[in-house]
Structure 1
Amino acid sequence: MSNIIYIGYYFKVKPQQPAVEILIAELGYAGFESFVETDEGVTAYIQKDEWREAILEDIQILNSDEFEITYTFEDIEQTNWNAEWEKNFNPIIVDNVCAVRAPFHDKFDTQYDIIIEPKMSFGTGHHETTHMMIQHILNNDFKNKSVLDMGCGTGVLAILAELKGANPIDAVDYDNWCYLNSLENVERNNCNHITVIEGDASVLKNKKYDIIIANINRNILLQDLKTYASCLNKNGMLFLSGFYNDDIPMIKAECEKHLLKFEEKLERNNWVSLKFLN
């Protein structure tokens, strides 16, 4: 049986901004789930089971006269993935408070130091949405709060939630690779209060949380917001990201339908993250 489970697309983009951000957003809607910005543009990854021959037909920016975008693609073998990340994964520091680094990086003198070996999982802090979610966690009270990290990817947000005093924490992802990667990263950061669960919103039945973090994409958020609202305790907080500025009216409307009140917006390169209260 083949161990090739992902396809990698290598995009060269001129000029890069704002084209790279737009391209990542459109690729996310098409089903791509992991992105690495490069000196020439962006590399994007999609599960082979989710790939189809016409996968790029709806990517409008590829037909734009404003940008020159070319690409190649290839099958990615699981055994090659660590080398890919070591070539592309640089450490980051968020607001001079939280560092996110790989095991092969030196330790930073920050209040929070998180070690992530991302493999194929999404969520290293490099992408705007993860960066903003880290900011939300840093800026809000998580002490003794029950937390759900939905679409946990690498587990980085759940790990930071524990470092901020949250307990207990559920980290959920439907992708087996993300599930296994989160387990590894939770252990790597000596976390004791995180339960990693493989599954989708259906695993949340009869569960309640003080705080829900969901960094996924617009379509899944719209589909699952009713479930999140039902799982949120009174006076609870909901943090959402994984969508573009133009998607805010749809997200707000769905949240208001379930009596969630808009509280705050963060924006980074046209990506947004919203905070709602129950």
Structure 2
Amino acid sequence: MQNYLEFNFKISPLQPWNEILMAELIEIGFDSFTEEIDGILGYIQTDLFHEDQLKALPVFENENVKIEYSYEEMPNINWNEEWEKNFSPINIDDKVLIRAEFHESVPGMHEIIIQPKMSFGTGHHPTTHLMIQQMMDIDFREKKVLDMGCGTSVLAIYAKQQGAGETKAIDIDEWSVENSKENAVRNNVELDIEQGTAENLGNENFDIILANINRNILISDIPAYVSVLNKGGKLLLSGLCFFDVDDILEVCKECGLQLEKQLQREEWVSLLLVKP
């Protein structure tokens, strides 16, 4: 078993900064969280932790929130049991259910079966909900699809289930790639899964690009997405808080994209854009 560090983050005010902090912690290797009354507990493999990366997170520089933390080394734990105890199914508008194999099936709902392991932090729930909610209104039939920062590949899987053609899923983390391959098999869909970043895109072109990542990566990579998006293609973004929207839309406008639909859930936002 891997040795882990447990971090106790005290956050004031708690909302929406607990979700924002979790999203940023995932980017530096944290892989599970427990929500507390006054903050969160976060877990990271001991050999992956670098305190300079933690202190450099943008949320620590935001004057609207105060975050204090302490940490200690954890005893060996069966992490599969831990996430099974903490992972709950995600119900999107009583139409789509994202669940693990050990959860009960719900008659009448479209189901996506995943084995989330450590690649499904609680901070992703609102944005996953928003992405699926937007995707329910998109015609995926025979479309070529890209899922950037795929994580569990739940979005790529749903696109395939909705009739998408060739579908590529890319994530920077090796564990996400392996988890995505397992989840594709569970759902009987075929995905082209790669480890990498937007630099992997090359000269391929896509009809629909899904990117549920975070503000900084999106701002950096939107021009790359647009360069491989077909005319009339759709770009669906999330991993954004409401106060990120103006900055994201400015980049999108510079790249020639037009906003088609915006949804918000709690503090989180998704944007559906089209390339004219």
CA distance in 2, matches of 1:143, 1:154: 22
2:201 is equivalent to residue 200 of structure 1? no
- Is the alpha carbon distance of 1:75 and 1:238 closer, same or farther for their aligned partners in structure 2, counting shifts above 3 Å? farther
Task: Supply the AA of the counterpart residue of 2:48.
Answer: D
Corresponding residue of 2:107:
109
Displacement, 1:60?
6.0
1:152 to 150, 153, 158: 150
Displacement, 1:72?
4.6
Corresponding residue of 1:49:
48
Q: Tell me the number of residue pairs that the alignment of Structure 1 and Structure 2 aligns.
A: 269
Task: Answer whether contact 2:6 2:73 (CA < 8 A) is retained.
Answer: yes
Corresponding residue of 1:84:
82
CA distance in 1, matches of 2:122, 2:169: 15
Task: Supply the AA of the counterpart residue of 1:95.
Answer: D
Task: Supply the AA of the counterpart residue of 1:81.
Answer: W
Corresponding residue of 1:121:
119
2:136 to 135, 138, 155: 138
Corresponding residue of 1:266:
263
- Is the alpha carbon distance of 1:153 and 1:124 closer, same or farther for their aligned partners in structure 2, counting shifts above 3 Å? farther
Displacement, 1:24?
2.2
Task: Answer whether contact 1:222 1:254 (CA < 8 A) is retained.
Answer: yes
2:7 is equivalent to residue 9 of structure 1? yes
Task: Answer whether contact 1:149 1:172 (CA < 8 A) is retained.
Answer: yes
Displacement, 1:75?
5.2
Displacement, 1:26?
3.4
1:21 to 1, 7, 16: 16
CA distance in 2, matches of 1:10, 1:189: 36
Displacement, 1:171?
0.7
Task: Answer whether contact 1:121 1:177 (CA < 8 A) is retained.
Answer: yes
Gaps in structure 1 of 5+ consecutive residues = none
1:242 to 231, 239, 247: 239
CA distances 1:71-128 after superposition (whole Å, capped 9, x unpaired):
6554586x73211211101112111111111111111113411111111113789621
- Is the alpha carbon distance of 1:76 and 1:111 closer, same or farther for their aligned partners in structure 2, counting shifts above 3 Å? farther
Displacement, 1:182?
0.5
Displacement, 1:22?
1.5
Corresponding residue of 1:182:
180
Task: Answer whether contact 2:19 2:123 (CA < 8 A) is retained.
Answer: no
Displacement, 1:238?
0.3
2:218 to 218, 221, 232: 221
Displacement, 1:214?
0.3
Corresponding residue of 1:59:
60
* TM-score, normalised by the number of residues in structure 1: 0.85
Displacement, 1:231?
0.8
- Is the alpha carbon distance of 1:149 and 1:64 closer, same or farther for their aligned partners in structure 2, counting shifts above 3 Å? closer
CA distance in 2, matches of 1:101, 1:241: 21
Q: Secondary structure at the match of 2:16?
A: helix
Displacement, 1:12?
6.3
CA distance in 1, matches of 2:206, 2:7: 38
Task: Answer whether contact 1:27 1:59 (CA < 8 A) is retained.
Answer: no
CA distance in 2, matches of 1:12, 1:189: 39
Task: Answer whether contact 1:92 1:100 (CA < 8 A) is retained.
Answer: yes
CA distance in 1, matches of 2:206, 2:53: 40
Gaps in structure 2 of 5+ consecutive residues = none
* TM-score, normalised by the number of residues in structure 2: 0.85
- Is the alpha carbon distance of 1:110 and 1:19 closer, same or farther for their aligned partners in structure 2, counting shifts above 3 Å? farther
Corresponding residue of 2:249:
252
Q: After the TM superposition, which of the residue ranges 222-231 and 124-133 deviates more from structure 2?
A: 124-133
Task: Answer whether contact 1:261 1:277 (CA < 8 A) is retained.
Answer: yes
Task: Answer whether contact 2:7 2:69 (CA < 8 A) is retained.
Answer: no
Displacement, 1:175?
0.1
Percent of aligned pairs sharing the same letter: 41
